[in-house]
Structure formats: C-alpha cells, structure tokens
Amino acid sequence: MNIMVLGSGGREYSIGRMLDKDEAVDKLYFAPGNGATSRLGENIEIKDYNELAQFAVDNEIDLTIVGPEAPLVDGVVDIFKAKGLNIFGPSKEAARLEGSKVYMKNFLAKYNIPTAAYIETDHIETAFKFIDTLTAPIVVKADGLCGGKGVIIAASKDEAKKAVSQMLSGKSFGDAGKNVIVEEFLDGYELSMFAICDGKDYILLPAAQDHKRLLDADKGPNTGGMGAYAPTPLVDEELYQKVKDRIIRPTLDGMQSENAPFEGVLFIGIMVVDNEPITLEFNVRFGDPECEILMPLMLTPASELFYKAATKQLDTLHVSFSNQYAVGVVMASENYPYKSSKPAEIVVDDIVHDEIEQNAHISYAGVSEEDGVLYATGGRVLVCVGVGDSIKQARDRAYMLCGQVHFSGKKLRTDIAYQAL
Ligand code: AMP
Ligand code: GLY
C-alpha cells in the first residue's frame, strides 16, 4: 500500500513512524513533512490541493491521511474524493465541527449533547445581557479558527465584556471573531478523547490528558500542548460508557441527519464535572501531542486502521491496544509560544541504555535538516515519548530520553502526568 500523510508536525511524524514499521506499507510520502519525516519516507513540496490530489493519482497512492485542521476546513477531503481517492478525514462540511464554534455549539444543543450553557451572537447588547446573568469566571470564544488562542477565560463580568467588544469589533481576531460564544465556566478536570470514525461506526482510543500551559503546575500562557499521557486512570468504564452514549453516538447519528456524516478523528475536549462528561469542544483531527502517545499504544497496524476507516469498514475491524502506558514530553524552543527562535542544532547523545533504546523514542516536529544534521526551527521542536508498564515508568523513560537531547534554549515541563501520579 502507498500512503501519503498531510502535515508537518510531531503528530504526522508519529503516524509516519507507525506506518514505516508496518509491513503492508510500500511507499510513504509526507506533504510537506519536516526535516525528520524525510528519514521515514519522501517529503513532497506541493501546496495546492488539486495538484496534490493529482500527485496521488499519478503515484498510485492508496490512502491519504490528513493531520492538521486547516486543510480539512479548506475541503482537501472533498477534492481528493472527487478524484476517486481514499482519504482519511472529514469533509469540508463535517469539519465545521471544529471550523466554527457556533456551528458546533448549535449542533450540540440540537442533538441534546451535554455542553456548557451558552449563547451565540454577533450583537454586543445580547452578549452583555447574558454576561450579566452569569457568575465569573466567564468564558468568551471567537467563532472561527484562531490557532488555539480564541478562548478567553474572563475573571470578571467587565473583563468578559471587554473581550466580547474586542472580538465583535474585529480587533482581536478579525473575521474569526465576528460571531462570539459566551458560556458558563465549567469547573472540573479535562480529558482528551479520540474516536476514529467512518461516518457510521467508530473506535474509541484510550483517554488522554494534555498539558496546555507552558510551565509546571499549569502556570504560564496557553500553548498547543506541552505533554500528554494515556491511558489516564481518571477514566473508568462507566465514564467511557457515558462518553459513548451521550456524546459520540448522538454526534455520529446527528451528523448523518445533517447530511454530513463524520469520517476521520473526532477529538472530544471533555470537562468532567461531578463525574459527568461535558463537551467543551470538538476538533476534527488528532491532538498534538496526544497523537504521539496514542500511536505507540496501538497494536493494530496503522495502515489497516486508517484504510478501513477511510473505506467505511470499521465494523469489520477488531482493534487492539497495548496494556501499557505512554507519556510524551514536549521540548520547545526558547521563545515559544511568543515568537520564533534562532535555529539551533539538535544533538542526541548515543543511547547506550537498553531500557531507553527499547522503550523510548523521539517524535520530531519543528525541525529542519541540513547535511544530515537536524536543527530546531519550530516552536514545539520534538516530543520525547516513553512507554512502560505504569505511568511512572513511562514518564521516567520519557524524561531519561529528554536528558539525552540537547539544543540551545530548549524548554520543557518537568511535571507531565502529575495528575495521575
Ligand atoms: P476550547 O478551544 O473550546 O477547548 O477551549 C480552550 C481551553 O479553554 C479548554 O481546553 C479549556 O481548558 C478552557 N475552556 C473552554 N471552555 C471552557 C468552559 N466552558 N469552562 C472552563 N474552561 C473552558
Ligand atoms: N493538544 C491539543 C490540540 O492539539 O488541540
């Protein structure tokens, strides 16, 4: 099977790493990939989606897997399908679950899927009136994609009103803020859950926890995610069942009723409040760094899983997961998440320790390559992943590997998985 992976992050590297080890895979392409994916397959420099689809036809690519949200929201899946190609990801219409928070919230309300009480409006007085009925903190969200920055947790009513004014005037997020959501603050613990969907059936992966803040003890600014682990012991069978019955099943059925069957990864951001799962948001792709820790726990070959999902055959697939744990620690560059940093050479010590050699690895993200040397060029540079029989063992292995990776200005959290330990 020839497979192409769209994207350039650690998420795409980790999918590629599994495909590289997969006996069913012949040729592997990344578009555009990064400085390390070229060690797993071939990087393709085509940006236009129509040209990329033609490349897939010409090179007999049997399956394309889309990593990030932007191409999905832009409709890359529709373009590939129009050429009769197999592609794993939601259509442009279904990708609105992530592309528009207003669409998502109204969908949740229509199908009685639990979510925070909210209003959606482009009218400042309506927003202010609703804010006056809430108690702080109050959550204000821009409608469109804002690269993870469009959510404001306001500490007071005044701050919430200021955030609404700035969004509606187009000052803070341009067109993405022309509609806003104002919602109640949910106080609980957060989970990331991922369902691989084929429109009708789905496979739920082990629940993960991300660490969104830059610094230890969840301090500092929000980031794309500084580390993750799975499965989390915070979820028991009862909670998994509630998520399936109250969120995933009604979402797949609802999207079918909307004539936008959901294919791809449904990423459910969940807040657990008094043991009840409430939907914070949907994304229509894997989380990053969550993907990097979920991939090593999959025992079913990745080619089979994604191919069956893309061809609506999940009902014939039995997926098995390892009974181990995985912990991923992000190493970011000096100025992340504020601005870019100077390229820095990455040096990985020779790994002489068998335990690390066999149970830990690096998923590369923001890196470029020159003459066989890797340079840190992105915000999140790489993820050190450890696997083990307990969360503690997996975490210790991840951190041991971190100690062997060097680049100028490297930055990491030292408390990944603290909630489980
Ligand atoms: P979102 O992009 O909607 O997931 O929001 C980003 C982050 O803001 C989430 O991961 C939560 O940590 C936080 N958040 C969003 N909505 C709420 C809410 N209603 N209550 C509490 N925290 C929230
Ligand atoms: N790690 C969270 C995300 O990918 O959105």
Model confidence pLDDT, tens digit, residues 264-306 = 999 999 999 999 999 999 999 999 999 999 999 999 999 999 9
- Cα(46) to centroid(ligand 2), Å: 25
pLDDT at 177: 84
Q: Which of 104, 23, 11 is nearest to 66 (CA)?
A: 11
Q: Is 139 in the pocket of ligand 1 (CB under 6 A)?
A: yes
Q: Is 120 in the pocket of ligand 1 (CB under 6 A)?
A: no
Distance (Å, whole) CA 363 – CA 352: 19
- Residue identifier of the C-alpha nearest atom 3 of ligand 2: 287
Distance (Å, whole) CA 151 – CA 76: 26
Q: Which of 10, 40, 8 is nearest to 25 (CA)?
A: 40
Distance (Å, whole) CA 421 – CA 232: 10
User: Residues of the chain with pLDDT > 90: what percent?
Assistant: 93
pLDDT (tens digit per residue) in 183-229: 999 999 999 999 999 999 999 999 999 999 999 999 998 899 999 99
Residue 145 pLDDT exceeds 90 = no
Cα–Cα distances (Å) from 131 to 136, 186, 240, in that order, read: 9, 15, 33
Q: Which of 229, 244, 233, 241 is nearest to 197 (CA)?
A: 244
pLDDT at 352: 81
Residue 147 pLDDT exceeds 80 = no
Place of tokens 């969907």: 197
Q: Which ligand is nearest to the CA of 69?
A: 2
User: Residues of the chain with pLDDT > 70: what percent?
Assistant: 100
Judge whether 395 and 360 are in contact, CB under 8 Å: no
Distance (Å, whole) CA 250 – CA 296: 29
Does CATH number 3.30.499.10 belong to domain 189-316? no
| Residue 117 structure tokens | 């009480």
User: SS3 sequence, the chain?
Assistant: CCEEEEECCHHHHHHHHHHHCCCCCCCEEEEECCCCHHHCCEECCCCCHHHHHHHHHHCCCCEEEECCHHHHHCCHHHHHHHCCCCEECCCCCCCHHHHCHHHHHHHHHHCCCCECCEEEECCHHHHHHHHHHCCCCEEEEECCCCCCCCEEEECCHHHHHHHHHHHHCCCCCHHHHCCEEEEECCCCEEEEEEEEEECCCEEECCCEEECCEEEHHHEEEECCCCEEEECCCCCCHHHHHHHHHHHHHHHHHHHHHCCCCCEEEEEEEEEEECCEEEEEEEECCCCCCHHHHHHHHECCCHHHHHHHHHCCCHHHCCCCECCCEEEEEEEECCCCCCCCCCCEECEECCCCCHHHHHHEEEEECCEEEECCEEEECCCEEEEEEEEECCHHHHHHHHHHHHCCEECCCCECCCCCCHHHC
Distance (Å, whole) CA 195 – CA 202: 6
Residue 144 — very low, low, confident or very high, per pLDDT cuts 50/70/90? confident
Q: Which of 343, 334, 355 is nearest to 404 (CA)?
A: 355
Ligand 1 pocket test target in 120, 281, 284 with most atoms within 8 Å of CB: 281
Domain 2-90 identical in fold to domain 189-316: no
Q: Is 280 in the pocket of ligand 1 (CB under 6 A)?
A: yes
- The answer to whether the peptide bond before residue 137 is cis (omega within 30 degrees of 0) is yes
User: How many angstroms from the chain centroid is the CA of residue 299?
Assistant: 20
Name the architecture of domain 2-90. Answer: 3-Layer(aba) Sandwich (3.40)
Residue 58 — very low, low, confident or very high, per pLDDT cuts 50/70/90? very high
* CATH dotted code for 325-406: 3.90.600.10
pLDDT at 237: 96
Interval 375-388 mean pLDDT: 97
10-20 and 302-310 helices, crossing angle to 10°: 110
Interval 250-256 mean pLDDT: 98
Mean pLDDT of the chain: 96
pLDDT (tens digit per residue) in 20-57: 999 999 999 999 999 999 999 999 999 999 999 999 99
pLDDT at 125: 96
- Cα(156) to centroid(ligand 1), Å: 16
**Where are the domains positioned within the chain?**
2-90, 123-178, 189-316, 325-406
- Cα(151) to centroid(ligand 1), Å: 7
- The answer to whether the peptide bond before residue 261 is cis (omega within 30 degrees of 0) is no
249-257 and 101-110 helices, crossing angle to 10°: 100
Residue 149 pLDDT exceeds 80 = no
Q: Is 288 in the pocket of ligand 2 (CB under 6 A)?
A: yes
Per-residue b/e over 266-278, b at no fewer than 16 CB within 10 Å?
bbbbbbbeeeebb
Interval 174-178 mean pLDDT: 87
pLDDT at 154: 95
Ligand 1 pocket test target in 153, 266, 276, 279 with most atoms within 8 Å of CB: 153
| Residue 369 structure tokens | 């390559």
Name the architecture of domain 123-178. Answer: 2-Layer Sandwich (3.30)
Distance (Å, whole) CA 378 – CA 349: 21
| Residue 137 structure tokens | 């903190």
